[in-house]
Structure 1
């Protein structure tokens, strides 16, 4: 008998997605914390966007990762 789950992704995929969302939120918070006018400082132009891109890469990996089979 085959185990059919109602979800497209497994538990591991959702855990990785949550991690990606947390990293993306940290990126947006870093950009908002910039004290320079119009966000032209290090946090707004460099660190925040890099952390945000890392969050998107984690999300991409979470979508493509194969869920583990429960045997």
Structure 2
């Protein structure tokens, strides 16, 4: 006669049986940017704002008269765009700069 082997009943595995260390929420997230990064970002924003203000300039004394020295001045044509581009370079530097603290 053939005998049949009885298997032990299986119990479903619960999620509580997993160790807590493997859960992704248990890890401590380091901040993306440090204090020094935000300082450099602020410097970049100030440079961009200063360049835009210099590019805008003031109003003409007489709106009926075209004065090319006011429109095509060194400040508006050369200095202001250099400040704006410099501000964007500082912003890129601030984003890519690593935190200097250990463990971050």
Query: Would you call these one fold, judging by a TM-score over 0.5?
Result: yes
Greater helix proportion: 1
**Is there any run of 5+ residues in structure 2 with no aligned partner, and where?**
1-26, 61-66
**Is there any run of 5+ residues in structure 1 with no aligned partner, and where?**
none
Aligned counterpart, 1:25 = 49
Aligned counterpart, 1:8 = 32
TM-score (norm 2): 0.55
Alignment RMSD (CA, Å): 2.4
Cα deviation, residue 8, structure 1 = 1.0
TM-score (norm 1): 0.77
Query: Which 10-residue stretch deviates more, 39-48 or 16-25?
Result: 39-48
Cα deviation, residue 14, structure 1 = 0.5
Cα deviation, residue 4, structure 1 = 3.7
Supply the distance in 2 between the matched residues of 1:55 and 1:22 (Cα, whole angstroms): 7
Cα deviation, residue 70, structure 1 = 5.1
Higher Rg of the two aligned structures: 2
Aligned counterpart, 2:3 = none
Cα deviation, residue 68, structure 1 = 1.6
Name the SS of the counterpart of 2:53 in structure 1. helix
**Where has structure 1 moved over 4 Å in runs of 4 or more?**
34-37
1:50 matched to 2:78: no
Say how many residue pairs are matched. 69
